[in-house]
A = this chain, B = another copy of it.
């Protein structure tokens, strides 16, 4: 086992431990109420799995802020920073797990609606909700999760002003995710997307939910503005790096390990930071792969395309961009106390760009 693999194992174990708690909490926050078919469809993707990266970020930030040992404190009754401080009156504890489930529910809602829009058949190894049920039910399941995420956040038990700020973060995050998704669709019809435009799209579509996950515990626990802002920035940085790394992995990881055809983004003419950069360097990106059919493409064709993108420095450009963002994000964690949970957040940032798939 290499050093990188050993560190990756530590991070994955930390994620796994928190995932157990999150998985237990999901049916508590989202019981199968009447009408049962609607709630079963709403829970379908949540129950199908997922790493729970965003809840892990949220819970770990809270553990670092509260300066408690990881996994030592009941997430349902988690200390706030106001406890014992008369000047910052607030509840002694909040239901931090509710906040963690709320962001995972938002994530699930966006995936359900995205899969309808992209007409994707599979998600997390199971049929997409609109395939397992139908488009009508999938639209409605997403809509239900949307309002449930707000209902769950409203029950966290923070002071009214902190609750208002948390809901503001959540609502604005959802608006930005919609804007990012709309830009992503719009980019498909354009061949002049600039790297800055791509990064802005990724920020909205992917990174803002990481940013919300990192900053919400600070908002709910009563941290100061500087802390909240830096944590938000950490989420934006690692969230963008996470998406850029996804684009790199699509080209560099063997198909069997990736779980889908390597280079499928190229075949489908999807815009990524790599193709956007290559086009600026004069590479004829649209013709890198001849076929538009993921089933028909050969490994040799993908190899040639990847060689051209390496030649133009585009893969290294994306790699470097992801590394820079992760370093920038890690630096922001200076606002947290130096403790085990903060170390985990640093390692989590590294993991997001070092992970093999």
Contact = CB atoms under 8 A, between A and B. Distances in A.
Contact of A154 (B140, B160, B167, B174): B167
B168 A160 contact: no
Interface stretch (A3-11, A141-149, A326-334): A141-149
Interface stretch (A181-189, A212-220, A291-299, A341-349): A181-189
Interface stretch (A30-38, A57-65, A229-237, A255-263): A30-38
For the residues of A in contact with B, the DSSP-based class is helix
Contacts of A69: none
B168 A154 contact: yes
Given A38-B178, A182-B38, A117 B136 contact: yes
Residue in A150, A159, A186 with the greatest tally of chain B CB atoms within 10 Å:
A150
Contacts of A185: 136-137, 140
Contact of A175 (B137, B148, B172): B148
Interface of A: 33-35, 37-38, 113, 116-117, 135-137, 139-140, 142-144, 146-148, 150-151, 154, 159-161, 163-164, 167-168, 170-172, 174-175, 178-179, 181-183, 185-186
24 contacts: A34-B179, A35-B179, A35-B183, A37-B182, A37-B186, A38-B182, A113-B143, A116-B135, A137-B182, A137-B185, A140-B181, A146-B147, A146-B174, A147-B172, A147-B174, A148-B171, A148-B175, A150-B174, A154-B167, A154-B171, A159-B160, A160-B160, A160-B161, A164-B167
